[in-house]
Structure 1
């Protein structure tokens, strides 16, 4: 570590969550921002946004990611590139011996996620995906389980639904068929909300139970927004999971419109014990 600080390389610029993560790393006395970078063949519009963030933070922009990863003063990579590129780039960063701080969701496909997981395990680096596990309500739930205040955990339900967007525009009667995989995540006007927001609830459930998921069933739909329907992606969904020790968990995830909640949206957790 240079100057006894963790050097942080930023991948991803404006119009990502990197705008916030970079400021948090910069404010941490243990860290020092080193540079911004991306792949040589990164999309031109993304490179422009990357360079804008680099200019705002007064950081150098390194056009070749391989050169950036070769810097000895880089210890951590904050990874916020588009979902479609995250698996390959995450693998490359881990193989270069850099610790990973990953925006959520982890990756677009199971294959991409496994690329990251396997590279992290084989390289011995540390990785962390952004989640809500340190929120006060999640910490209280963890305490209730570990102290056996609720007895033995039998079931959980978690709602994470954002209050964003202008609802009431979803076409009535139009139904879409959910697919087991998707090739595209990044749209200008919308995101696949169960995929994007449901990860918060899933990560909470996994962290609280510390049990393996055995089966998953789910339903997605388009209740609120025309733009999601036009992109053939969901704005809401539910999942049911059966887990080890006969624990059942359910979640909802999505967005319901900016007037649906007085703050940022519903974040709610139910625990059922013996």
Structure 2
């Protein structure tokens, strides 16, 4: 359900949005506890990616226990480890083609399903949970060579304070660098009650000690000590290309701009593999 909110943007005022706004505000007024329970399900439940994906030969699946429950990992190849993190309503399977390329270059590629995604445990998904899951996966590694992340996964990586990430190269694919503004804008455009939204967000912030106001991937990127490459499509409808362009202009960031690949197909692109090779150069 939530993907229809976060991935369906339109500047037009429509009847459906007005009905959503009226119904959710009325529900909240008449039955606040039940309304918040429903809001959690609507706002925090991603779509689990069930698209059939060819599995690379030699792929190893291994569950890892974290503070967010069991997180499923998928590894390919041997050598220094590159960790790969997906975005909202995605899964590790999106990285399989890139993992083949990474393994062929003499590295171990380790992707994982975030909480409530793919084959990992969890009922709800949100950025604080993503960060804790990533930290749990990193805790299980002896060392890492670098990290790759797509969409909301980019915010996850930049927000993490894990020691193993310090100074490491990072490849960001269609990152949502203006995460908080983008999130609020998406919910506003859906018509969903903003009061309900903020109540849900405040509950997560209290549980994780992670206020929404503290989330700022763009600022964290400015402080990143390692090499950074961003691969982003100019026509991306879900993550603002202008934010990546600004980061490349203001910081030590190499931007590879694509055309016509959008937010998802970019994960299968030659430019993405070129971005990884550039980090190795």
TM-score exceeds 0.5: no
Considering only CA atoms, is the larger Rg found in Structure 1 or Structure 2?
A: 1
Q: TM-score when scaled to structure 1?
A: 0.34
Q: TM-score when scaled to structure 2?
A: 0.33
More strand by share: 1
